[in-house]
Chain A
């Protein structure tokens, strides 16, 4: 199975700050990488698919990049409603695997 490692596990940032979350795969995943946001007690919500495609209705402050084994989710200006845990998911090969998550809080 492909292992997905997210860093940092926990991040505290201020409103308006630029935030970068990382996800590293144990092998090349050919940009089949998605980002999901999960708020406490809710289901995950798709933010970005195939590395850099913004899902419908997602604010443009979210963006994704990467290739090979290394991928990044960037929030250009953190908002209070962005407090959540963020997961990456690889769909390059079965079984699909998630990263352990980055918990984002306000400073």
Chain B
């Protein structure tokens, strides 16, 4: 069974950084891409970027370059996203979602991690 398990909710101060994780199981991690997506409360979903589990190659939405950094640990089949210089605009739920091809559809999603930026 495919599972994407995301790390727990975070409360962080403005200007700080946070690292979110997406631990996978039930499939061959290196054969898939992982995208990260942002959903602010009651709002639209935004695609942040993706990373290939095989070689760590990345692609980013220009809007999130400098804000998000995607990495993987193949040994633990885990994808990570670092968010830096956090502001209130970064308060949102962040999802990881798996896809088979670089332009493939998201067939499995993690449950999401809520990040709250507040002093």
| Residue ranges of A at the interface with B (Cβ–Cβ < 8 Å) | 32, 34, 36, 42-46, 49-50, 55, 87, 89, 91, 94-101
Contact = CB atoms under 8 A, between A and B. Distances in A.
A17 B107 CA distance: 28
B56 interface: no
B44 A32 contact: no
B35 to A, nearest CB: 8
Those 10 A-B pairs whose CB atoms lie nearest each other, nearest first:
A95-B61, A43-B109, A49-B105, A96-B47, A98-B45, A34-B105, A100-B44, A91-B103, A43-B111, A46-B107
Contacts of B52: none
B95 interface: yes
10 contacts: A43-B112, A44-B106, A46-B106, A46-B107, A87-B45, A89-B106, A95-B62, A98-B46, A99-B44, A100-B44
B112 A97 contact: no
B109 A44 contact: yes
B61 A43 contact: no
Given A42-B111, A94-B61, A50 B105 contact: yes
A88 B103 CA distance: 15
A24 to B, nearest CB: 15
A99 B47 CA distance: 12
B14 interface: no
Contacts of A46: 105-107
Instruction: Tell me which of B95, B104, B105, B111 has the highest count of chain A C-beta atoms within 10 A of its own C-beta.
Output: B105
Interface string B92-119: 0001010000011111011110000000
A32 B103 contact: yes
Interface in B36-51: 44-47
